[in-house]
Amino acid sequence: MSAAPNDPAAQKYVSLMKLTAKGLAELSDSAARRKVSEDRVAALGGRSIAFYAVMGAYDFVQVFEMPSNEAMMQYVLTARRDGHVDPLILPAFDTGVWGNIVAKV
């Protein structure tokens, strides 16, 4: 099932990203790469909801809304091929969806 961005049916994802050696070496281009990332997400029918630099085991956290798992996978493979970050993608469920799931358990 596909959904448009801002559609309640759109799937949400959290990406936890670690900079690779290439990403660290090209750190000064980080802002430009973020813009490329957001453009790629939009081209696939999604949107970037939030982006944060964080301290700890990961360097960045990004929250996405995408129309399908297939669109998210295409985005992730492209990002990984670029080689600047190693992402961990987590499907995310808002409280309404979570409540519906729990009610069925």
pLDDT tens-digit map of 14-70: 999 999 999 999 999 888 998 999 999 999 999 999 999 999 999 999 999 999 999
Contact call for residues 101 and 86 (beta carbons, < 8 A):
no
Does domain 11-104 correspond to CATH entry 1.20.1090.10? no
- Strands (E) in the chain, as ranges, are 11-19, 47-53, 60-66, 85-92
Q: What is the pLDDT of residue 72?
A: 95
- Record the tokens describing residue 58, joined without a space: 């990961």
Domain range summary for the chain, segments of one domain joined by +: 11-104
Q: What is the pLDDT of residue 14?
A: 97
CA distances to 12, 15, 99, 103 from 71, rounded to whole Å, are 12, 14, 26, 29
pLDDT of residue 7 exceeding 70, the answer is no
Q: What is the pLDDT of residue 76?
A: 94
Q: What is the pLDDT of residue 2?
A: 47
